[in-house]
Structures are given as C-alpha cells and as structure tokens.
Structure 1
Amino acid sequence: MPPSGAARPPAFILFTDLPKAGAYLEAIAARGLRSLVITGLPQWPLEQVAVSYVGKPGHPFEAVEQLEFLPAEDLAGILGQVTSWAADYDIRGVFASSETFVEPAGQTADLLGLPGVGLRAARVCRNKHLQRLYLGEWSPVSVLSSSSRETVLTALADRYPLISKPLDLYCSIGVRVLRDREALESHLEDLASASPVLLEQRLSGREFSVETIVAGGYPVFSAVTQKLTNEDESDFFVEMGHTLPACNLTKDEADRLKEAQAAVLARLNFGTGMAHGEYRVLPDGQIALMEIAARPPGDGILHLYQLATGASIESSVVDAALGLPVHHPEPSRWARQIYFDHTPGKLEDIAVDGLAGVEPFWVVDHGLWPAVEPASPDAPPGLRKVLVLKARGAELGPLADSFGRAVTALFDSPDPGQLERFDSTVREAVRITVS
C-alpha cells in the first residue's frame, strides 16, 4: 500500500493461467505497470510448479506484484479483490487470457470503466447454447438435451452424425460423436439426471480458427490458422496441429473467414480484446461457426504468431487493453505446431534425433511454456522447440481430449512447401519412449 498522500502506482489486472503468462507479464512490465494476477487454485503439477516460481529473481514470474487464487465462479470475491486493489493502485488495464475468467474479467473492466470485451460477448462466449441462439446465422442445427425427447429427435432427424458438447467446458472435454438415432437415444437416457449438453449436427469440412484483436469495437488485426484434428481416426475432436498462416485455402476463403468473424463480433458487441473463433469451410463453400471465445487461442498458437510475424501478439493485446494504438505486423513466415500421438503407458523419455541444437523442454520442470525466438523472414526451416507437457513417469492414455497430449513441436519455414517437407523431418526426429 502506498504511503498516505502518495500517488498510486500504475497497474494492470491479468486473469490468467500462470504457466502461459510469461509474455503478458513481460509486456505489462515493459509499459511501466505492476502486474496484479488472478488465477485459480493450482490443480495440476505444472500449475503447482509455476506458483513456486512467483517472485523468484530471474524468472518471468518475478514480475508478479500480487497474486490471488480465486475461483472463477466467485464473482463477489473477485470484485471485492479488484475494489481493494483499485484503492492502492492506479489500474490502467484488465485482460483475461484464461477461458474460465472471461466473464469475471468482463465484469471487472465494466466496473472500473476500462476497455474490455463487453458484458454480452463475455457471457455469450462462455455458453455454447447462447452462441447458437445469438449466432444462428452462422451455426449448425442444434438443440439442448434438456428439451423434450420428441423435440430433440425431431430437430435432429436425418442429420446424423451428431456431436454432444458440454455448454461451458473447453479443450474438447466431454465432446463425443453420436452416429445414429440409437446412439442419440442411449445418450439421452445417460443424460437424464445430468447437466444439459448441446446436441448438434456434425459438419464436415476444413477447420480453421480466426484470431482477431479488437479495439473499441473495430478489428485491428486478424489472421487465419489451419487446424488438424484426430476426428478422422477416432470419435474425438482433439486438435493435433496448427499452421499459421493457413496454407490450405484460397485468398477468397481467407477473406470470407475474416468477414464472418467480424460479423460475429459485431453481433456480440465485442468491445476490446482478442477473439478466437473456430470455423469450418464446408464442401459447398459456406462458412460455419463451430464456437467463439472472448480470449486468445490456446495450445502454442500465440507462439506461432511470434514465429510467423516476428512480434509478440501478447504485447499487442496488452496495448489494446490499455487503449493504445495496435500495429501488429502481418505474417512473413509459415509456422506450425504439431502434437505427437503416443502409445498408452508410462512416459519414460523423449529424444530428438538428427536435429542439432534442440533439446526436449520438460514444461513441468520449469512451470511455464518457454518463449520462442523468431527467425528472419528468409531463414531456412527450423525446429524451435520440442515441449514435453507431462512429467516423467506420467501415465499416458488415449487422446480423448487436449489434456491427454504429451509432446509437441514448434517449427517454421520461409514458404509452405518447405514447411510441409520439414514436417516429415520433425516427425521422424522426435522419439517418445513409453513403457
């Protein structure tokens, strides 16, 4: 607390998952602001290790001025903490990089009169059913499982296969395929006493995400990321790869994806922040919305922006939250993240063969995802990071959701053709030993 009569130090409130907060903390400190961080109680080993580094000299988490553990659903507690901080600090900006804190961050920005995504966007983006109601123009046919059995069966008749989605979860948790009416009826019986889920037509087509920085209601930067999932080999929808910028679509398709994203954000009255929309381009060329989030993308997509554009997109997002001009560069390289499939069992070791200078980085040992260094636009293809997301000895199971993935690689190239060829090199080089 500053002495009586002293000026309050300028600060920024960051709602985040600590292991991925490093670049935000760096950007906040670079603007002369203190970092006030709200996160959930650590549940996973990675989160527990991350907390142990808070305040440690030389570590990115040294920049955390204050850290509070609060459940995302405890809005009263969060706003009470915000009010207390506002008495001691001159709070200049608010931002949520964590899905679960999108609504509390939106409420915080509204309370303090600061730029934020807006109350409608925060609420709708956290509920898949509300997304279908507000954004029906871009959405597949869907119905809540809590509707009458006749309503569900009629609405979804002849639209198989279907997808069942929890309303407010993420990372593909709880998502499953229902291939026929018999599977749907069985699923409805299983759900009889459970929380409602969204049942909708499964659409086939190439999948993309669109990341957009919005300032004062206007998109100031937007790019399209190509997706790879395991849906063709399983009944799940785990994302197994991202490519930025997307290289399996035409310029017209990319422009229409960005236009659809802009229209969706306008319908949501999206104010200031970053949006991550997931879409499919259907065989007939139509654009369909899978879901929209009022926060940055997950996985290593922000790292891909660093590699592809040569600049920190986290820094640009912080500028937007502070009401500063945003001038993020367009991609000048192609960057890709891939996740490796694995045999279920106990994780013993990771090796990288034939690519000198890259050692596996065991994320759990360090408490954070490391930064990546971009190459010059014309540099040859390069493997930048191999990240191990599980601890040694961890039990690896089937890839049913994003939390099941264990090893990932980040690499980039000056053109798409070289990127595809280098992809094969990387997959051959990384070896996972499981017992």
Structure 2
Amino acid sequence: MKLLGVEASQNSYYYQSRYRQVADQGADLYVLNGIGTDDLWPADRYRRAGSKHVDDLIQHAAAWHAEQHFDGVLTFSESAVVAVAAVAAALGLPGIGVDAARTSRNKLLMRQAHERGGVAHPRFRFVTGLEQALRAAAEFGYPVIIKPTLGAASNFVFRVDGPDQLRDRYRQAAAGIDQMMWYDMEADGLDLGPHGLLVESFLDGHEHLIEALAWDGETYLGSIVDRVTMEGDTFDDDVHHAPTALTPDQVAEVHAVVAAGVRAQGLTRSALHAEVRFHRGRPFLLEIAARPGGGGLDHMARLSAGYDPIRAVLDVARGVRPDVHHFRPTTVHTAAMCLLCAPGTVESVGVPPEVTNADGLFFLKIMAQPGDVIRRPPDGNNILGGLGAVGTSFDDAMRTATDLAGKIEVRLADRRRTR
C-alpha cells in the first residue's frame, strides 16, 4: 500500500517516529510538507511544496498521485486535519470530508454541533472582547475555562477563578493565539471557522483520554487512559495511567457520550482522539479530534488495551476497516508523563544509557532540539518530550517513570541545568 502523509507546516521532527511506525507496518509512506526541513524523510519519498497554501498542497499532491497512485492520505497533526481532508477530496481518496474536519478542528463549531446533537458538553460562549468574557463567566459562575477555538496541546487554556484573574488571562490569551504555533501551522486558504476565544463552564470531575474509531455508524473505544495530574489554573496534561479505573457502567456511559459526539460531528470513518470529563457523576464531552492522540498514547493503547491507533490510521486512510473491538483492557499497567522544564532556549538535553536501556521503559521521546525556545504558561505550553513505563501497578509504573525522568538533564541557555 502507498500512503501520503501531509503537514502544511512541519512540526519539527515530532511525527517522524510515527511515520516510521507506519512504514514498519508495511506501508510505503511518502511525505509532503508545505514548509519543512530537507531531512525529515528519505529523499525519494519526500517533497516540499514551498508553500503552505492549500491550493499548492493539492497541486503537488495531485502531481505526485499521478506518478505513484496513492491508496490514501493521512496526518497525525491537529493542524493538518482540515488540509488533509481537502487533499483527499481533491484526489478522490478516502477522507472524512472538509465539513466534518472543520467541525472536528474548531472548538466553537464542535460545541455547536454537540449542542445540536444533544451531547453532554460544558456551557460555552464565543467572546470577542473582555466585557463579553466577563458577562459569560458571571452567567456560568466561576471557575470557568478560557480556551482558543483553534488551539491544541492546552496552549492558552486557563482555569479562571474570578473577574480579576479573567482580566489577566483574557489579555494573555487574546495576545497569544495569533502567534500560537498550532494556528500558524495551519494551511493558508482554508475556511477554519472563527478564530478567537471561548469561555466555558468548569467541569469538576476526573478526566479521561480515549483512542477510538468511527466506522459506518459504530464507535469503538480502543483504549481509555486516566488523567491523574493535580491541576492548577493551567493544563499541562502531564501524567496518565492505563488501564482505566472506570467501572464497566462508567465505560458504557463514556461510550454513549463519545458515540453521540461522533454523530454530531459528522464523522463516519475516522481514527479519533476523544477527551471526556465527569461532572456531578456524569461524563461530558470535551472534544473529539479526527486523528490519534499524541505523546505516548498509542503505546499505552497497545499495551493496556490491545488497540493500535497507528494501524487504525493507515487502514482508515485507504478505506479498509481496521481490526478493532470494543474496549477490552489488559492487565498491563502503564504510567506516562510529559517531560517539562523551565522556559528558555534549549542548549542541550542529556539522556543517559541507564534511561534508554531501562527495564520497564516503553516510550521515550525528546522533542525539543538545541536552539528551540520552550514557552510555558501563560506564554505557551511547550514540553520537552514524553516518557512512559510499565509496572505491576500504577504506583509501581509511576515510580519507574519518575525515577527515569529525574535522570534526564536539560541545559538552558543562561540558566543552570534543570530536570
């Protein structure tokens, strides 16, 4: 099978390891970037359009398709979901459609779809100024969440506990979203829906990350991961555990709300990443993205639930039903965390062999390269990388992961070392 991976703007080397997974599963993978480096993928299967305009991406993809006869188009990037839907449609290849892609990318359009579909979701208001934000927060009651409509990775997502804090956070978010990398990496020439800020009511319970599949009217929960971080007013999303501690009845409730969201967003055949949060004992839908989750969630899915999100992506891309079943956890405990460091410019990252060769390590990805600028809330939400470990219990796996993370040394320009 021949598949074409697309990013309008290359997200450093973040997806390189996933491209390798696709190739390891037997696909002949070609990669087209609008703008990118010259060394991301083998030269005979890699091209750059020299522009991130969707028309140029389509033109280059169509010319390459005429030569290679691709079976499908795929992406792992939230910022390329709409562009890939447009490319697939132009090439006559399987895809989710531009309308469903836009609804699954833009948080306002997604919320409106959930409202029309009767899906449990937080109250929301699209705001274009501080006074509107203050009125929405007063109506919903504090705390509230403020978030971008076209964000990702919790950039400029804040919990706000009162009017004075909202004034500060609104100013920071409104100033930051135009420079946010996830917005900047979008293809030009696409209608992405409103670009701005939402105020949402706060959901007070536990949160879960789900790798799922939509296929011809059925929704399958491939894996469920529990978010175990003690959160503050920003959302690093940095510690996870699987398999889930949810009861079978709660899993059934989660399945129902995710399936309703899938229908509301118009998704018929897609690999999915869903986020659900409980509120007063009921699951509410935070989002459903039309791509697999990032970090080590694919590894956690395979180990803790026997589901492979990467395989699902390549099968869906070529119009073949993936080998999937309803949620069936294993007995393998996994713990994973984002690797965080202080803000600054990365000088070096040192990973000793005792980390890379450690028993129990199932995932280690250092994303930051020397020269990269790490921005932390309220200026952004960059992370150093991710790490995951297995164990006989969550506590056992977490101890291993924490110990290994503490051995990674980060040096920032004009700062002492940090970990």
Sort the TM-score into its range (normalised by shorter chain).
0.7 to 0.9
In structure 1, distance between residues paired with 2:368 and 2:132: 45
State the match for 1:308 in structure 2: 304
Percent identity for Structure 1 against Structure 2: 22
Q: For residues 151 and 27 of structure 1, do their structure 2 counterparts lie closer, same or farther at Cα, with a shift above 3 Å needed?
A: closer
Task: Select the residue among 251, 254, 262 that pairs with 1:254.
Answer: 251
Q: For residues 392 and 151 of structure 1, do their structure 2 counterparts lie closer, same or farther at Cα, with a shift above 3 Å needed?
A: closer
In structure 2, distance between residues paired with 1:221 and 1:148: 39
In structure 1, distance between residues paired with 2:375 and 2:305: 35
Q: Is 1:20–2:15 an aligned residue pair?
A: yes
- The TM-score, its normalising length taken from structure 1, stands at 0.75
Q: Is 1:384–2:371 an aligned residue pair?
A: no
Secondary structure of 1:431 counterpart:
coil
Secondary structure of 1:52 counterpart:
coil
Q: After the TM superposition, which residues 234-383 of structure 1 pair with which residues of structure 2 at under 5 Å, given as runs?
A: 235-247=233-245, 249-282=246-279, 284-309=280-305, 312-328=308-324, 330-332=328-330, 333-342=332-341, 350=350, 358-359=355-356, 382-383=360-361
Q: After the TM superposition, which residues 114-125 of structure 1 pair with which residues of structure 2 at under 5 Å, given as runs?
A: 114-125=93-104
Task: Select the residue among 111, 124, 142 that pairs with 2:90.
Answer: 111
1:92 Cα deviation after fit? 1.3
Q: Is 1:37–2:31 an aligned residue pair?
A: yes
Secondary structure of 1:91 counterpart:
coil
1:390 Cα deviation after fit? 3.0
Q: After the TM superposition, which residues 170-185 of structure 1 pair with which residues of structure 2 at under 5 Å, given as runs?
A: 170-185=152-167
Q: For residues 53 and 360 of structure 1, do their structure 2 counterparts lie closer, same or farther at Cα, with a shift above 3 Å needed?
A: farther
Q: For residues 175 and 97 of structure 1, do their structure 2 counterparts lie closer, same or farther at Cα, with a shift above 3 Å needed?
A: same
State the match for 1:52 in structure 2: 39
Q: Is 1:431–2:407 an aligned residue pair?
A: yes
State the match for 1:366 in structure 2: none
Q: Is the 8 A contact 1:116 1:271 kept in 2?
A: no
State the match for 1:374 in structure 2: none
State the match for 1:7 in structure 2: none
Which consecutive unaligned segments of at least 5 residues does structure 1 have? Answer: 1-9, 43-47, 56-61, 362-380
Secondary structure of 2:319 counterpart:
coil
1:168 Cα deviation after fit? 0.4
Give a deviation string over 1:59-108, Cα, whole Å, max 9, x none: xxx7x623225665x22112222222232232211222111110111122
- Aligned pair count reads 381
Q: Is the 8 A contact 1:230 1:236 kept in 2?
A: no
State the match for 1:3 in structure 2: none
Q: For residues 250 and 127 of structure 1, do their structure 2 counterparts lie closer, same or farther at Cα, with a shift above 3 Å needed?
A: same
- The TM-score, its normalising length taken from structure 2, stands at 0.78
In structure 2, distance between residues paired with 1:76 and 1:389: 30
State the match for 2:189 in structure 1: none
Q: For residues 396 and 347 of structure 1, do their structure 2 counterparts lie closer, same or farther at Cα, with a shift above 3 Å needed?
A: farther
In structure 2, distance between residues paired with 1:191 and 1:344: 18
Q: Is the 8 A contact 2:229 2:240 kept in 1?
A: no
Q: For residues 389 and 86 of structure 1, do their structure 2 counterparts lie closer, same or farther at Cα, with a shift above 3 Å needed?
A: closer
Q: For residues 187 and 297 of structure 1, do their structure 2 counterparts lie closer, same or farther at Cα, with a shift above 3 Å needed?
A: closer
Q: Is the 8 A contact 1:39 1:69 kept in 2?
A: yes
Secondary structure of 1:199 counterpart:
strand
In structure 2, distance between residues paired with 1:157 and 1:117: 36
Q: For residues 161 and 432 of structure 1, do their structure 2 counterparts lie closer, same or farther at Cα, with a shift above 3 Å needed?
A: same
1:155 Cα deviation after fit? 6.5
In structure 2, distance between residues paired with 1:203 and 1:301: 23
Which consecutive unaligned segments of at least 5 residues does structure 2 have? Answer: 179-194
Q: 2:240 is aligned with what amino acid?
A: H
State the match for 1:130 in structure 2: 109
In structure 2, distance between residues paired with 1:122 and 1:254: 26
1:260 Cα deviation after fit? 0.9
